[in-house]
């Protein structure tokens, strides 16, 4: 069986993905400093739900406590990342299933700089991990 997984382009992105995966699996909140497309920096506390590879970049899908809604963060634009140690439980309206519902996913723009929504990512060629499972458009992988 062929295993296809996108690779992280830089060592920093690989390290961040490793930390993100551990936080997702452990259901731990993250504190991050993020630089957006306009080069503005913000600090956030998020509930990480999954990482997705789309349009040649890795994206973190999360519940942002500052905004009180789902947000997507390009992993290569995360400047600082810390696992808070504070665990979270699923709350209605804040789960991965809620994020992936068409009415949410189609409305959230991805921070790739080229547009696109999470709904398009899911329906198109994409790969990623969410919870404890890696998945890919080409082959489903199990931990």
CA atoms within 13 A on the CB side of 120: 11
How far is residue 49's CA from residue 111's CA, in Å, rounded to a whole number? 16
How far is residue 98's CA from residue 66's CA, in Å, rounded to a whole number? 18
Over the stretch 61-109, which tens digit does the pLDDT of each residue have? 999 999 999 998 999 999 999 999 899 998 998 988 888 776 555 555 5
Cα–Cα distance list, 79 to 13, 28, 32, 104 (Å):
10, 19, 7, 27
> Is pTM, for the whole model, over 0.85?
no
Cα–Cα distance list, 43 to 21, 46, 91, 140 (Å):
20, 10, 23, 34
**All structural domains of the chain with their residue ranges:** 11-134
% of the chain beyond a pLDDT of 70: 64
Place of tokens 């404890």: 132
């Amino acid at each position: 069986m062929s295993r296809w997984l996108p690779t992280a382009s830089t060592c920093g992105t690989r390290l961040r993905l490793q930390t993100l995966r551990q936080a997702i699996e452990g259901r731990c909140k993250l504190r991050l400093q993020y630089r957006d497309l306009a080069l503005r920096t913000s600090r956030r506390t998020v509930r990480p739900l999954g990482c997705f590879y789309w349009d040649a970049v890795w994206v973190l899908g999360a519940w942002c406590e500052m905004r009180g809604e789902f947000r997507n963060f390009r992993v290569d634009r995360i400047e600082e990342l810390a696992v808070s140690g504070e665990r979270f439980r699923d709350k209605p309206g804040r789960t991965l299933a809620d994020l992936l519902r068409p009415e949410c996913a189609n409305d959230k723009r991805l921070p790739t700089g080229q547009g696109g929504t999470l709904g398009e990512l899911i329906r198109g060629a994409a790969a990623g991990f969410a919870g404890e499972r890696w998945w890919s458009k080409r082959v489903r992988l199990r931990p």
